[in-house]
Structure 1
Amino acid sequence: MRGDTSSCAIRRFLVAVLLCFGVVGGATAGAKLDDPTVSLAFVGDIMLDGIPGDTVKGERDPFAHFARILDAADIRIGNLECVIASEGRAERKPFTFRADPRTVNVLKGHFTALSLANNHTGDFGRAAFSEMLNLLEVQKLSYFGGGRNLAEAHAPLLIERNGLKIAILGYNEIFPRSFEANHDTPGLAWSEDEQVITDIQNARKVHHADLVIPFMHWGLEHEPHASARQRRLARTMIDAGANAVIGGHPHVTQDIEQYKGSPIFYSLGNFVFDGFKDEDNITGWLIRLEMDRKGVHRWQLYVAHIDHQGIPHPASPKARSCWQRGQRVGAICG
């Protein structure tokens, strides 16, 4: 793990998170929860090329330090910031990421599903992308935000746990749009406001989901604050029926906002990713949501510190912030 992150520094970091969240208000601890409930864990960018990929080839687990926290959730979701394939040719772009097919087994050990809606799953073309879909399906590792055609890319991932049906949607809005799915062409789900609204509404009306969560790939790289575009779209999605909004892409964590009782995590930052040195880039979040039919009734934020090999470590076993229904702001817990 890189450096010594003191408890005071971590505490200051979490205080900054909570100041982004809102003003201090009263809490109703111990409020009775509606049954049933479900827990979901979300992490940001997972890139298994480079050193993290070598870690897997060496039969080591890059997620080992967070295994206990991940495995404690009913549903575990991450953003796969690479293509997993053995074929394909690199696109003409500054950075291209392709992971070895052996990484699927490691991902399967920790994740329920992965978002494919980002600017790197198309790095080696459509043949490599299609190979990845086959690899994930053989291992029964679910995915969303991408597919073999437009309808599949925009279809919600539906997961039933504890008597609740959860719909998870994924969208990319990082240009260029060259890897967008078409009616008969594999690719990603692109973020068009009207289509996103329709998808959220259909998740409830057509698929009868109790809970809907969009996972967005958006914003500006290395920018610690969400853009006006992100804020408008996040609120639009909640108005359309989303219970929470999760985001990524900037390679840094961004603001947390509460809108109409629903949390918005604009960027979770990196999770498994090498090649960064700045403190902001090697700090990521794992978010655990606890939900009932009304939406999120509690969340917890765990801070990840990413070492020089791109491997995340808990910044401190006690360093986390949390919120529960009835509070206007989170609190440092631990």
Structure 2
Amino acid sequence: MKVNFFGDICLEGIDWQRFEFDTALRTLMDGAVNVGNLECPITLHEVPKPLQVRNLRAPAESLALLQGFAAVSLANNHVQDYGETGCRDTLAALGQTGIGHFGLGPDQRSALTPLILERNGVRLALLGATRYANARDGLPGTASEQLSRLRRVIRRLKADGCFVVPYFHWGYEYVHVPSPRERGIAHACVDAGADLVIGAHPHVWQACETYRGRQIYYSLGNFIFHSRVFDGLSPVPNDPRLKEGLVISVQIRPNHRYEAAMHVVRLTDTSARLLDATGSAPIRAQMTALAALLAGPRLPYLRAYFRQTPAIARQNVRIRKEHQTAVAGSSADLLKVYRSFNGQDVMNRLAAAVIGRLEQ
């Protein structure tokens, strides 16, 4: 079985009738099981979830652009952008197009139900999980990253003879070095039997590593995403990293041994193009260096991670003030904003300050 894993896909603002995949990319996708993260509800519902920095959606017709995809993860922070109606509409639209999905359900048990695809003697089990938009209190949502539940499901799937791939929506945005938190979750999944771990959400590619003989790709970056969505969000103006993404091609044998190959794509608002060896060489060199960092001693890795985080933490505080607290209509709304803030911001700024003092 050949499987291609893609990063974040948002169809809002995309001219799906004119968007182009180049010949090399189409060739890579032909005949493969193609899987990505669909990061927008497919709905025409007009009542957005309040107090969001961005509310994303796209019409059902836009799914024609994904006709070559076998499945998408719905475990992400935007799946509830248009509430329960948006979730229901998304599931209905995917059902009508025949695109499989995973990571979303009416409760935690359903949300963590795997999508199983069979081909050439391989049973591929896809799981989606995230800490965002979790199913609770009767509202459909995503599967959480609760390790006890993830371990139990992974072990059961391995006992059933599946090749298990958790696809996470996690991590600190706009940084290339993955956080200690995400590494801990990934390692725990491999310890439980996961064969491969895939991640998305940071909107830039992140390092990969080999752990106990299994590959972990912490973030594949973007695949289809209109640039205007990021206006004012990245701390880097006109951030060129948002126009780079990874595609991981995995050839899986019936005995679950596999080879994984990394490809680099260059993105615009109207196209995705597979880079050749020369064009992808700079990113490959950076990936090699970061893989060595993750394989090395703990302290240099922690220094590298926390050095990159203060700028993002400050940006997140600014965004929260401009887009959320400024429009909060009551003290209850304000409480919701601060209850949902990214706790990593505080930890990352404190840790960066400590490391900075130690290095003086």
State whether TM-score is above 0.5.
yes
Q: Confirm whether residue 82 of structure 1 aligns to residue 40 of structure 2.
A: yes
Larger helix proportion of the pair? 2
Contact 2:251 2:258 in 1 (8 A): yes
Distance 1:209 1:320 in 2: 36
Q: Confirm whether residue 124 of structure 1 aligns to residue 82 of structure 2.
A: yes
| Misfit runs of 4+, over 4 Å | 317-322
The residue that corresponds to 1:49 in the other structure is 12
The residue that corresponds to 2:143 in the other structure is 189
Equivalent position amino acid for 1:247 in 2: G
1:149 to partner: Cα distance: 3.4
Q: Confirm whether residue 71 of structure 1 aligns to residue 30 of structure 2.
A: yes
Distance 2:21 2:109 in 1: 32
1:57-100 deviation digits (Å, cap 9, x = unpaired)? xx224445522211242x11000011111114112211111011
Stretches of structure 2 that go unaligned for 5 or more consecutive residues are 231-237, 285-290, 293-360
Which residue among 211, 224, 227 is the counterpart of 1:259? 211
The residue that corresponds to 1:39 in the other structure is 2
The residue that corresponds to 1:164 in the other structure is 122
Distance 1:47 1:64 in 2: 19
Larger strand proportion of the pair? 1
Give 1:1-334 correspondences, 5 Å limit: 38-50=1-13, 52=14, 55-56=15-16, 59-63=17-21, 66-73=25-32, 75-91=33-49, 92-107=51-66, 109-174=67-132, 179-182=133-136, 184-205=138-159, 208-275=160-227, 277-307=238-268, 309=269, 311-316=271-276
Distance 1:63 1:173 in 2: 32
RMSD (Å) for aligned C-alpha atoms: 2.1
Normalised to the residue count of structure 2, the TM-score between the two structures is: 0.71
Stretches of structure 1 that go unaligned for 5 or more consecutive residues are 1-37, 323-328
- CA change 1:296–1:303 in 2 (3 A) is farther
Distance 1:319 1:291 in 2: 27
1:122-165 deviation digits (Å, cap 9, x = unpaired)? 11111111111011112221000112333321101101100111
Distance 1:310 1:256 in 2: 28
Distance 1:218 1:143 in 2: 18
Distance 2:270 2:154 in 1: 34
1:159-180 deviation digits (Å, cap 9, x = unpaired)? 1100111101001124xxxx32
Larger relative contact order, structure 1 or 2 (CA cutoff 8 Å, min sep 6):
1
Contact 1:291 1:297 in 2 (8 A): yes
Equivalent position amino acid for 2:145 in 1: S
1:310 to partner: Cα distance: 5.5
Contact 2:120 2:254 in 1 (8 A): no
